[in-house]
Amino acid sequence: MRSVIALLSVVSLASVAVAQDYGRFPCSLVNGDGTLSPDPNQCLDDALIPPGDPTSGTGFQIDGPTPTGATCARAGLAGAYYCGIAGAPCTVDANCDNGTCEGGVCTGGLTTPCTADAQCSGNLYCTDIEGNIQPGATCGGLGSFCNESPFADPDGTPAENFPVFNQYCASGYCGVDTGVCEEFATQVGADCSFDPDFACTVDEATGAQLTCIGGACAIAPQPTGARARARRAGGALFKRRACPLSHTACSVQGQKGFECIDTNTNIEQCGACASEGGIDCTSIPGVAAVGCSAGTCEIWSCVDGFEYDSASESCIRNIRA
């Protein structure tokens, strides 16, 4: 049986949203306006550092073979760029980050029908936590293992780890205690005893925030107090309804109103809105290429005169330069 490590969890600077960032080899380049573009140089064979051990023979996706001749491609419509991710051009299976090459394209993305883990891209699984295949299984589908990540930190908290593992499920929810892809509970009265902290989300009928009370989802209690406080709470609820579930309503500096931000991937408001302590990844000293994945700033390269220091997870000035 595979271990469940979601009670452990993700690097500091972290905050939930679901992206398709299930690749193992990032290759994004941050542009001056904060957008991302592909950086083919990060996919050169000698530039790829495997997150696991390809020689171990464990069968875990993280230990899959390192691709060769991989192309840098975007994970989904709004994800970051990864080498050999599903959808990347290819000529042979070796060009793909796990998965297979079919019709000149790497396959194995979320919801792809599968009969083995090897058919799934990156860190997606087809089998359950016991390693068994279920009828009608798909990569990242319900019941598939989702509790392994090269970006998880065993010193983190469950709340930090939660959005990291969610990226490996088509449903957007990796069960904290089960370690497999589940469905969120979206109705009042729905069972949430299996995961009181994270199972309940927004009520599909009213848009109200749900919380787990006594093993069942219920509308979250509203704070008591003056009428003005009630109006402010109502405004916050309006903002939550106005944005997709994967985005957060962030205030716009110097203006009234708000904008919907995916704080899971936005490099200027990473982990949270800027007004609430979110990190501007581009402002980190010495970085050349940086991204935001699962609400965490990830440094991919440093400017000349700086070098990456793994101990402090930052770019420090190279005194030898």
Q: What is the pLDDT along the chain (321 residues), one digit of tens a residue?
A: 666 553 332 222 222 334 578 999 999 888 777 778 899 999 999 999 998 899 988 889 999 999 999 999 998 776 789 999 999 999 999 999 999 999 999 999 999 999 999 999 999 999 998 899 988 999 999 999 998 887 776 677 767 777 788 889 998 888 877 889 998 888 899 888 878 888 888 888 887 888 888 889 998 775 544 333 333 333 333 333 345 556 777 777 666 556 778 888 888 888 888 878 888 888 888 888 888 887 888 888 888 877 877 777 788 777 654
Phi and psi angles of residue 241, each rounded to the nearest 5 degrees, phi first: -70, -30
Phi and psi angles of residue 240, each rounded to the nearest 5 degrees, phi first: -65, -40
Closest CA to 107 of 91, 124, 88: 88
Predicted local distance difference test score (pLDDT) of residue 254: 61
Prediction pTM value: 0.63
The alpha carbon of residue 164 and the mean position of all alpha carbons in its chain are separated, in whole angstroms, by 4
In whole angstroms, what is the distance from residue 100 CA to residue 115 CA?
13
Tokens of 83: 């080498």
Q: What are the residue ranges of helices labelled H in the chain?
A: 158-166, 227-242
In whole angstroms, what is the distance from residue 13 CA to residue 17 CA?
15
Per DSSP bridges, beta strands 248-251 and 210-213 are unpaired
Q: Classify each residue of 152-188 as buried b or exposed e, where b means 16 or more C-beta atoms within 10 Å of its C-beta.
A: bbeebeeebbbbbbbbbbbbbbbbbbbbbbbebbbeb
Predicted local distance difference test score (pLDDT) of residue 240: 34
Phi and psi angles of residue 41, each rounded to the nearest 5 degrees, phi first: -60, -30
Question: What is the DSSP-derived secondary structure letter of residue 138?
Answer: B
Predicted local distance difference test score (pLDDT) of residue 141: 95
Predicted local distance difference test score (pLDDT) of residue 19: 56
Predicted local distance difference test score (pLDDT) of residue 233: 33
Cα-based distances in Å from 170 to 19, 125, 136, 273: 10, 11, 14, 25
Predicted local distance difference test score (pLDDT) of residue 255: 61
